[in-house]
Amino acid sequence: MTLDYSERMGSIKASEIRELLKLTQKPEIISFAGGLPAPELFPVEIVKEMSAEVLDEMGTQALQYGPTEGFDPLREKIAKRMKKFGVDTEAKNILITSGSQQGLDFTGKIFLDKDDVVLCESPSYLGALNAFKAYQPKFIEVPTDNDGMNMDELEKILESTDNIKVIYVIPDFQNPSGRTWSVERRKRIIELANKHNLPIVEDNPYGELRFEGEMPPSIKSFDTEGRVIFLGTFSKTFCPGFRLGWTCAEYEVLNKYILIKQGADLQASTLSQMILDRFLTKYDLDEHIEKIKAVYVKRRDLMLKTMEEEFPKEVSFTRPEGGLFTWVTLPEHINARDLATKAIEKKVAFVPGGSFFPNGGNENTFRLNYSNMDEERIVIGVTRLAESIKEMI
C-alpha cells in the first residue's frame, strides 16, 4: 500500500543513528550516545510524596483540562527563575510547553515556509534540525569556535542572504560541542539581529549545570527589542519524563506560540505541572541541581582524564565547563561512523558527529555524553574507544 503523503514528509528521513541508539538500550552496552540524565538522581521518593499531596488536595483540578498557557503558579515561579539567566520577566511572558523540544517545533511552524533559511551553529542540535526540517527550510551553518558562533561570518551571511527567518543558537554548553559563547558574542548577535530585524531562538537546556566559573548572562538578557525567544526546560534539572519546558518571549511573539499550542495539544499535562509546582514550593531546586552537578563534574573529569591518557595525540576534544557533552575531532581521514561500528563490537556507543551538520561533512567528529554512565563504565568505555581509534589510525 502506498499512501499519498504530504510533500513535507519527503524531507523527513529516519535518522541513521536511530538504529545505533536502539542498541544502546542493551544493558551490556556502555553508552555515551544519548543525552540522558543520570536516572539515580531523579527524586523518585519526593515525586511520590508530591503526587500524593496534589491528588489529595486538588485531585479533580489536577485531572482536569487547564489553560493553554500553563498552570499560573508554575509560570510565576519560572518567570522568577529567569533572573538566573539575567532576564527580568513576568508570568504572562511564559508558556509551559511539553519539553523545550515542542518550542522548537512551534518555532518552525511559526516562522518557516518552504525554502526559508535557518541560520544555525555548525554543528547544531540534531533534534532541532529535525524539528525544523518538517517545515522544509534551508540551513546555513555559521562556523563556530571555542567562544561560540563566529560573528564576522554571521554578519557576512546576514548581508548576503535573502529569506533568513530565524537564527537558532545554543549558547551554553552546546549540544553537541559542549562549548559556551563569550559575553561579547552574546551582545554582538543582538546588534546584528536588531540590524536585520530577525528573531533569535536561544535554546538553553544546560546553562544551569555549570560546574565551575560564572554563568554568563543569556543572550535574551541583552535583548531590548523583544526579538529573543528563550527556550528552557526542567528535563536536565528535574527529570525529562515530566516533559515540562517553557518558552519565554515578548507577549506579542509568545501569543503566536500559545495559538499554535492550542492546535497542537491544548496544554501541557495539568498533573505534571502541579506536581512540579509543588516540588518547587516545598523543595529547593537549586539544592537539587547542586547534587546533580556534584555527580556530573566527577564524570566529566574522569572522561577527560581518561581521554587525555588513552587517546592518540592526533585526537582533540572540548573541555566543557558544564552540561552533558564533550566533542571529539579525529584526524580527517578517519570516519566516525566507521569508528562507531568498530566500537559497537567492543560494546561502546557514541553519536557520530556528521549528523549534527545539516549540510553534511565533518565525518571525523563525534559526541560523547558523560552524564549517564557511572565512573567505572566511563573508564572502561573510553579505554575501549581509544583502542578502536588506535586500530583505525
Q: In the complex, which residues of this chain contact ligand PMP (CB under 6 A)?
A: 35, 99-101, 125, 127, 170, 175, 203, 205, 233, 235, 240, 245
Among 54, 90, 81, CA closest to 278: 54
| Pairing outcome for strands 245-248 and 228-233 | antiparallel
Q: How far is the CB of 82 from ligand PMP (least distance, A)?
A: 16
Asked whether 306 and 378 are in contact (CB, 8 A), the reply is: yes
Compute the distance between CA of residue 139 and CA of residue 160 in angstroms, rounded to an integer. 14
Could you tell me if 121 and 169 are in contact, meaning their C-beta atoms sit under 8 angstroms apart?
A: yes
Which one, 170 or 315, has the nearer CB to ligand PMP?
170
Q: What is the largest CA-CA distance in the chain?
A: 63
| Residue 79 vs 131, nearer CB to ligand PMP | 131
Euclidean distance between CA atoms 232 and 206, whole angstroms: 9
- Rounded CA separation 52/74 (Å): 18
To the nearest whole angstrom, how small is the minimum distance from the Cβ of residue 146 to ligand PMP? Answer: 18
Q: Based on CB atoms, which residue is closest to ligand PMP, 131 or 385? A: 131
Residue 37 backbone phi and psi in degrees, to 5: -65, 165
User: Contact 132/108 with Cβ under 8 angstroms?
Assistant: yes
CB 261 within 8 A of CB 106: yes
CB of 233 to ligand PMP, least distance (A): 3
Smallest gap from Cβ 179 to ligand PMP, in A, equals: 12
CB of 125 to ligand PMP, least distance (A): 4
Q: How far is the CB of 18 from ligand PMP (least distance, A)?
A: 15
Specify the residue, 235 or 306, whose C-beta has the smaller distance to ligand PMP.
235
Closest CA to 33 of 375, 391, 388, 372: 372
- Which CB, 69 or 172, lies closer to ligand PMP? 172
Closer residue to ligand PMP (CB): 233 or 270:
233
Cell numbers at 114, concatenated: 518552504
Name which of 203 and 363 has its Cβ closer to ligand PMP. 203
The x, y and z cell numbers of residue 57, run together, are 488536595
Q: End-to-end distance of the chain based on CA atoms, in angstroms?
A: 47
Whichever of 175 and 388 has its CB closer to ligand PMP, that residue is: 175
119 in helix, strand or coil? strand
Q: Give 123 or 245: the residue with its C-beta nearer to ligand PMP.
A: 245
- Least Å from the CB of residue 57 to ligand PMP: 28
Closest distance to ligand PMP from the beta carbon of 101 (Å): 3
Nearer Cβ to ligand PMP, position 239 or 389? Answer: 239
Q: C-alpha cell of 107?
A: 518555532
- Count of CB atoms within 10 A of residue 67's CB? 13
Nearest partner of 126 among 106, 111, 144, 104, judged by Cα: 104
What residue number has its CB nearest to ligand PMP? 99
Under a CB-based contact definition with an 8 Å cutoff, are residues 386 and 317 in contact? no
How far apart are alpha carbons 167 and 304 in whole angstroms?
31
We find the least distance from the C-beta atom of residue 158 to ligand PMP, in angstroms, to be: 23
* E strand segments, the chain: 30-31, 94-97, 117-122, 138-145, 148-149, 164-169, 200-203, 228-233, 245-248, 316-317, 325-329, 348-349, 351-352, 365-369
User: For residue 79, what is its C-alpha cell?
Assistant: 518567570
Report, in Å, the least distance between residue 205 CB and ligand PMP: 5
